[in-house]
Amino acid sequence: MFSSKEKLEYNISIRFQGGARDYLDIKQCNREVINVIDIQSDTLYFDLNEIHDGVHTLMVDTENDYTSVTGELPLSINYLHLSNSFDYRPPIVEQIVSNLPGNVQELVLDMNRDTITGPCIIPESVTILGSNDSFYYQNLKWFEVSPNKVYMGCQLLIDSVESFEWLLANKWICSVEFARNVLNMLVGRQQLPSHVIKVGLDFDIVQDTSFLPHKLESLACRYGTPFSHFAHLKVLKIINDYPIKLEKGVLPPTLQKLRLYYEHALEADILPPHLTTLYLYDYNHPLCANLLPSSITRLSLLAFNQPLFTNVLPSSLTRLNLTAFNQPLNAFVLPSKLKTLYMLKFNQPTLLQNSLPVSL
């Protein structure tokens, strides 16, 4: 049987998925081959010492308010994902986070507000700290992080003046999202600190550009928030309709990823030259050569249903989503590097020879 080191080196996973009771029913000699555990905490108490040294990945989902743990996790764990569903705040989450294994590298925490109530030391080994949603300040304020650490995937939800003031003093947070109506209390009185490079503005429009850091790299916002002046912007997502026609120079030339609800026809040189990812949700106009930058590797045209011709799609394209496309697919239209193709409405009676690249 493979050793723990070989499983890591060759990406071999032997998984257990199920309830804690079922895991405890497995004989110890059989448990030792498992290196990935995806477990639901369906017991009142669970002894972490039951998880043997050799487990690399541990995912724990709690759907109650009462599960508690004793013992310690093994040092072999390098990926840990804890989640508590609905509005539960089980003690298991804080008990584990307050005593993390010293070699964990990736830590994913999906927690409700006030799940953490006391100090938790984040090991130096952690390189990725993230969540499937934003972190509440009420949890993050208890984390003790090594000096000079920065966690790109750790996004703070700013839902109060208190959470904003905490951000100012904690430079390991570089990504923020604003709750509804909070900006009204801050814009004109405060300014986001320079260590913030990613901002989500899902609800309110910010017209005072001095509030946002001038070195911003990622912005999700509503139409009406100015963005053309950001000289370092790499990612832009406009989360509602962009009602006016884009002119040359409106989109920053530094953009690499763009998501846009846009219905107008594009013209040449409108899109930035270094785009690698482009999502156009409402676009349904004919495409011509050199309209889309050749650097694009991921393209989603979700409403597009126009004839496609050769040399129109970017030559670097590896992933293509044409959800609404239902037109004849001619030979050599799709780029030769394409690896993934998604077409939900496509229903043509025949596929011509060479209409699909061999790379698929």
Cα–Cα distance for residue pair 47/67, rounded to 1 Å: 11
- How wide is the angle at C-alpha 310 spanned by C-alphas 321 and 297, nearest 5°? 40
Lowest mean pLDDT among 87-91, 219-223, 251-255: 87-91
Q: Name 11's Cβ contacts closer than 8 Å, sequence gap at least 6.
A: none
Classify 259 as helix, strand or coil.
strand
DSSP one-letter string for 96-144: HHTT--TT--EEEEE--TT---S-EEPPTT--EEE-SSPEEHHHHTTEE
Summarize the confidence of residues 45-53 as an average pLDDT: 93
Helix (H, G, I), strand (E, B) or coil at 49: helix
Query: Across the chain, what does the average pLDDT equal?
Result: 93
pLDDT tens digits for range 58-76: 999 988 888 889 999 999 9
Q: CB 239: neighbour CB atoms within 10 A?
A: 15
Q: What is the pTM of this model?
A: 0.90
Q: Distances in Å between the alpha carbon of 171 and those of 182, 192, 285?
A: 21, 12, 45
d(CA 281, CA 135): 28
Does 89 have pLDDT greater than 70?
Answer: yes
Q: pLDDT digit string (tens) for 193-244?
A: 999 999 999 999 998 888 999 999 999 999 999 999 999 999 999 999 999 9
In this structure, the number of other CB atoms found within 10 A of the CB of residue 322 comes to 24
Query: Would you list the domain boundaries of the chain?
Result: 1-149, 154-228, 234-360
Q: Say if residues 50 and 26 touch (Cβ distance below 8 Å).
A: no
Q: Collapse the DSSP code of 30 into the 3-class scheme (helix H, G, I; strand E, B; otherwise coil) and give the result.
A: helix
The span from the CA of 237 to the CA of 327, in Å, is 29
